[in-house]
Amino acid sequence: MHPSIAIANYFLDLAKAEDQYLTPLKLQKLVFIAHGWHLALYKEPLISERVEARRWGPVISPVYDVFKYYGNNPITSRGTMIHRMGQDPRDIIEDIPEVDADDKDTRKFLDEVWEVYGGYTGIQLANLTHTKKSPWHQVWYNKNKGARDKAVIDDSIIQHYYTNSPNE
């Protein structure tokens, strides 16, 4: 499993290499879709964080938190994570997570996800993740019973959806 920010940074690097840009919406959806396909194909999570059902769709909190300040604008820098190293609040380390260069399988998988979904807009990807049978819809409207608070989308729901959704 990888930190979601490492996966996000990989997609940002792919976009930059093709002289493209990503918005927070598109990046969020790419990481979610990659996680879904990874669960379906390899039967294990791609990311170490949970996916939440929120009012506007599936959200991976670290990706949202790091890139939300860009709004609808292109993301211009890689994501970082801050780690506390002790009790003193000043003892922090800023880290730029990335997929290890030796992890050829994950890199190849992400390249394939990019090849299929990289040309979609953020809105198009959001539409894919908001269908009536999607994991988000199942949790937000069925399990969450219309509550207007976030709820966790269990990986088993995501895996089942992507395993049984050849058109996604």
- Reported as a single tens digit per residue, the pLDDT across 81-105 is 765 666 666 665 567 788 999 999 9
β-strands 92-95, 151-153 pairing:
unpaired
Residues 60 and 64: their CA atoms lie apart, in Å, by: 6
Structural domain boundaries in the chain: 4-163
Q: How many CB atoms lie within 10 A of CB 138?
A: 19
Tell me the C-alpha distance between 31 and 6, whole Å. 10
pLDDT at res. 84: 60
**pLDDT over 80 (residue 8):** yes
Provide the edge-to-edge strand list for the sheet that holds 57-59.
57-59, 51-54, 151-153
* Whole-number pLDDT of residue 81: 75
| 57, 160, 51, 17: CA torsion to nearest 10 | -80
Q: What is the pLDDT of residues 141-160, one digit of tens each?
A: 876 555 566 789 999 999 99
Predicted structure pTM score: 0.90
Number of alpha helices (DSSP H) and beta strands (DSSP E) in the chain: 7, 5
Quote the pLDDT of residue 31: 98
